[in-house]
Every structure is written in structure tokens, then in C-alpha cells.
């Protein structure tokens, strides 16, 4: 079975909201072993919706549509589907009865405006909405299926899981698709693919790379007749990847970097403190996004000026005068001193030029120094980042957490904080 997704909503085209529905459906189709070939976005226009449906049906077995099923005049998805199939809209008696009862239970008069939601393409079936009021649509013809669901994510997800998935499973051949994400740092995308060589040409499992800030993700996808068989295939390929590029592997899975760092800190019984200049608190803020992070985050100091670096972190005036605030030595002092002063096992520091002005001939805009200090050593890495001021700051914060994770994975010898 092949599929396409159509997201309906002028607000999507205007960039007023992010299309999380398409992301969710893409992930769920992959789990079901259904090949997704295209995603389209169209505004609230009956004629254009009909055109998109006809186009998708010319290529795919399954068309999933989200959005445009409400009671307002611009909710025209049902009409667009009807036009695509050349049938009229009709009031579906079961959907109308369900909707009337639902509205009455909620103390809402079942007006004709609200009951408009029960007008579905002739010949279609309706799908109950476990969360909202708009019924979904299931339309079959010539062994092809069109499914329309509400655009509200909570409604769409509940309807897909409870109503759509069971119907799809009855039509599937039994194949499953499973994937695994291996994450690398310190190696570029082309260098990684060069190391993996012919393994990248595998047809099943397939391998693909994705560049992330500070990382390269390698996604391995296996299609098999059972989940156990797919996992065996993934295990075999992962073992080969580790042999070829294991030195750069930092994680398996798609957990946010702050979750990975937090899990490692908690498992080792360690604490962390941050000293930030260029990132202005982003590193500490990201760490405390994780519930329970007070177990291992001691706190942070935003040392944006030289005066704060000297008075709160003890960076010597001589270092600032000779090396500058954006330097390896300054980052080293910041990381080691925040660790000592906040009584943490690990101190991480960032300093650099975010631009768009500033910089030096040998330290242009985008130069960032990141230091990670433990009771036994302090390591400093220099990076040259590109992008806007905000992008450079965000990437620096992300890289700081990557550096912390790498230090934690190498292991920290047992020792007292001092």
C-alpha cells in the first residue's frame, strides 16, 4: 500500500501554524509499513482540494487528509472530496444522530450550522470523533481509500488511532517497517558515508543520513514480516555501523540531547553547572526543560561582560587583556570556576562572537569556544559556526550539551569536588 497526505488549511500556507499532523501521520504510516511518497498542503478552497485529491488518487492507494471538517463556511474538505469522486454531499443519518446526541449531552443546541458536519460525500462511511464534534470520512472506490480527519491534532490523533488504524490493518499484507536512529558527533555527513561505504547502498535495510546541529543522524529502516525479524535486521546493520564508525557514535534513538545528558548525569550521580556568555543562559535553560532536572543541575551564571566574568567567575584580568573574552583560556577559566563555585561535578562554559558585528581577524563572527571541566581535567573545543545571530547562539548551546555528553560517555574517574 502506498500513501499520500494532504494537509488542508490556509493558515498552514500562511505559516501561522506548523503542520504537526503531517509529521505524526508520516511516523504512524511508517510503523504500519505503508510507504508514504508525497505530502501536499492546500488552502481552504473546494476546487483546489478536489484537484489535490484526484491527483493523489492517481498515484496512491491511500490518501489521508487532515483539516477542514468543521462547521464554518471555510470548512470545505468534505465538499472537495465529493467533487473529486463526482458525487453530491448528503446528510449521513448515523453521523447526524451521533452528532445530535453528542451536542445534547454537552448542552449545545444542535443547530443546522453544527449539523452541517454530518454532510458527507455520497457513498462514504463516517468515523466517530472521540474528542471533538466533526465526524471523519472513509471513502472507498476502485480499491483506493480516502480518509479525512479533523485538523485539531488531539482530534486527528485519537480518530486515527481508534478508527483508522484498525481498518487499515485489515487491508495490509502483514509487512512491518521499523527504524532505528544512530547519532554521531565529530564527523561530517560525507565522511560518515565514506566510512560506511557499500553499506549505504543496502536496499533492505536502507540507510539514510540527516544533518542536525552538531550531529549527523543515520536512520536504518528495515521492512519484514514481523517486528522481531525487522529488529534482527536492524541489530545486524547497527553492529556493522559500530565497527566502521563507532568512535563517533554518541547515542541511539531520537531523545533530545538534554534528556540524554540528564539521564547520564543521574545514572552517574553527577551534577552540572553552566557559565555562559554567547549563549546567554540557553544551555542551562535547555537542561532544565527536563522534569526532575533539579536532581543534577546546580545552576548557571550568565557572564556576558568582562566585569561579571572577573567578579563572579574569577577570570583573571590578565587573561581577558592578553587572550580576550573570546578565547580558549577564558572558556577554560569559566568552566572550571563555575564548577568549583557552584559545587558541581561538571562545569560547562561558552564564549564566542554571535554577530552580525564584532569578531577579530583570527576569530571571525561565529567563532565559539566551549569548555567542559571535571575535577580531573578541562577540555576546550573551538567551533566555527554559520547562520544568523540566533542560530549561532542556539547551535553553540546544542554543541555544549553534545560536548558534555561525550565527556560523560568517556567516563569521569571517582573523585571529590573541589
| 377 CA to centre of own chain | 34
38 has pLDDT over 70: yes
Q: Are 159 and 60 contained in the same domain?
A: yes
413 has pLDDT over 80: no
| Mean pLDDT value of segment 320-325 | 97
Report how far apart, in Å, the C-alpha atoms of 336 and of each of 24, 369, 375, 399 are: 43, 14, 8, 18
Q: Are 140 and 248 contained in the same domain?
A: no
What are the φ/ψ torsions at residue 411 (nearest 5 degrees)? 100, 140
Q: Are 203 and 265 contained in the same domain?
A: no
Grid cell for residue 176: 512491518
418 has pLDDT over 50: no
Quote the percentage of the chain above a pLDDT of 90. 84
Of 228, 252, 276, which one is at a domain's C-terminal end?
252
389 has pLDDT over 70: yes
> What CATH number should be reported for the domain holding residue 209?
3.30.70.2860
Q: Are 161 and 183 contained in the same domain?
A: no
Q: Are 39 and 161 contained in the same domain?
A: yes
> Measured between alpha carbons, how far is 154 from 137 in angstroms, rounded to an integer?
17
> What CATH number should be reported for the domain holding residue 152?
3.40.980.10
Grid cell for residue 213: 546541529
Of 202, 229, 252, which one is at a domain's C-terminal end?
252
Owning domain of residue 29: 2-171
Report how far apart, in Å, the C-alpha atoms of 17 and of each of 23, 43, 44, 77, 284 are: 13, 13, 14, 19, 28
Of 252, 275, 299, which one is at a domain's C-terminal end?
252
| Mean pLDDT value of segment 302-330 | 97
Q: What is the mean pLDDT of the chain?
A: 94
Contact 124, 83 (CB under 8 A): no
What is the DSSP code string of 135-166? -EEEEEETTEEEEEE-SSHHHHHHHIIIIIHH
What's the number of domains the chain is made of? 3
Kindly report which listed range (100-109, 117-126, 322-331) carries the lowest average pLDDT score. 100-109
Tens digits of per-residue pLDDT, 230-258? 999 999 999 999 999 999 999 999 899 99
Using DSSP, state whether 37 is helix, strand or coil.
strand
Q: What is the rounded end-to-end Cα distance, in angstroms, of the chain?
A: 62
Report how far apart, in Å, the C-alpha atoms of 49 and of each of 36, 82, 133, 371 are: 19, 10, 22, 53
Report how far apart, in Å, the C-alpha atoms of 242 and of each of 30, 251, 341 are: 25, 11, 39
Residues 143-169 as b or e (16 or more Cβ within 10 Å = b) = eebbbbbbbbeebbbbbbeebbeeebe
> Measured between alpha carbons, how far is 15 from 68 in angstroms, rounded to an integer?
17
Q: Are 243 and 272 contained in the same domain?
A: no
Report how far apart, in Å, the C-alpha atoms of 225 and of each of 54, 229, 315 are: 32, 7, 61
pLDDT band at 392 (very low <50, low <70, confident <90, very high): very high
Please, is 391 exposed, middle or buried when counting C-beta atoms within 10 Å of its C-beta (0-12, 13-18, 19+)? middle
Res 226: pLDDT: 86
CA-based nearest residue to 134, from 62, 77, 56: 77
Q: Are 267 and 398 contained in the same domain?
A: yes
Contact 63, 3 (CB under 8 A): yes
| Mean pLDDT value of segment 95-108 | 91
Kindly report which listed range (124-128, 174-178, 226-230, 362-366) carries the lowest average pLDDT score. 174-178
Q: For residue 416, tell me if it sits in a domain.
A: no
Res 291: pLDDT: 93
Using DSSP, state whether 52 is helix, strand or coil.
helix
Amino acid at each position: 500500500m502506498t500513501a499520500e497526505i494532504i494537509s488542508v488549511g490556509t493558515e498552514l500556507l500562511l505559516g501561522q501554524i506548523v503542520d504537526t499532523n503531517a509529521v505524526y501521520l508520516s511516523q504512524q504510516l511508517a510503523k504500519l509499513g505503508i510507504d508514504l511518497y508525497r505530502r501536499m498542503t492546500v488552502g481552504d478552497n473546494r476546487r483546489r482540494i478536489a484537484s489535490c485529491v484526484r491527483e493523489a488518487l492517481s498515484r496512491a492507494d491511500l490518501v489521508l487528509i487532515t483539516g477542514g471538517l468543521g462547521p464554518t463556511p471555510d470548512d470545505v474538505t468534505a465538499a472537495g472530496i465529493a467533487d473529486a469522486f463526482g458525487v453530491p454531499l448528503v446528510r449521513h443519518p448515523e453521523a447526524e444522530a451521533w452528532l445530535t446526541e453528542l451536542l445534547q449531552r454537552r448542552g449545545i443546541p444542535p443547530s443546522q450550522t453544527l449539523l452541517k458536519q454530518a454532510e458527507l460525500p455520497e457513498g462514504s462511511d463516517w468515523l466517530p470523533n472521540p474528542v471533538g464534534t466533526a465526524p471523519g470520512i472513509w471513502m472507498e472506490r476502485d480499491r483506493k481509500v480516502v480518509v479525512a480527519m479533523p485538523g485539531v491534532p488531539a482530534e486527528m490523533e485519537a480518530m486515527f488511532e481508534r478508527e483508522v488504524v484498525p481498518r487499515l490493518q485489515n487491508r495490509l499484507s502483514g509487512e512491518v517497517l521499523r527504524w532505528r536512529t544512530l547519532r554521531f558527533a565529530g564527523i561530517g555527513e560525507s565522511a560518515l558515508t565514506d566510512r560506511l561505504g557499500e553499506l549505504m547502498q543496502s536496499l533492505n535495510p536502507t540507510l539514510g543520513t540527516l544533518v542536525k546541529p552538531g550531529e549527523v543522524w543515520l536512520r536504518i529502516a528495515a521492512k519484514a514480516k514481523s517486528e522481531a525479524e525487522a529488529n534482527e535486521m536492524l541489530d545486524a546493520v547497527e553492529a556493522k555501523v559500530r565497527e566502521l564508525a563507532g568512535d563517533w557514535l554518541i547515542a541511539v534513538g531520537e531523545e533530545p540531547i538534554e534528556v540524554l545528558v540528564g539521564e547520564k548525569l543521574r545514572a552517574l550521580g553527577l551534577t552540572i553547572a553552566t557559565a555562559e556568555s554567547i549563549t546567554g543562559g540557553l544551555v542551562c535553560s535547555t537542561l532544565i526543560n527536563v522534569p526532575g532536572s533539579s536532581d543534577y543541575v546546580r545552576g548557571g551564571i550568565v557572564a556576558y561582560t568582562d566585569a561579571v566574568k572577573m567578579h563572579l567567575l574569577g577570570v583573571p584580568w590578565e587573561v581577558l587583556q592578553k587572550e580576550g573574552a573570546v578565547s580558549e583560556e577564558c572558556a577554560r577559566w569559566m568552566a572550571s570556576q563555575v564548577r568549583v563555585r557552584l559545587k558541581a561535578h561538571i562545569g560547562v562554559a561558552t564564549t564566542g562572537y554571535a554577530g552580525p558585528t564584532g569578531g577579530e581577524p583570527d576569530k571571525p563572527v561565529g567563532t565559539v569556544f566551549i569548555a567542559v571541566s571535571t575535577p580531573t581535567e578541562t577540555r576546550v573545543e573551538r567551533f566555527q559556526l554559520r547562520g544568523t545571530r540566533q542560530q549561532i547562539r542556539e547551535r553553540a548551546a546544542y554543541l555544549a550539551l553534545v560536548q558534555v555528553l561525550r565527556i560523560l560517555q568517556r567516563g569521569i574517574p571517582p573523585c571529590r569536588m573541589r
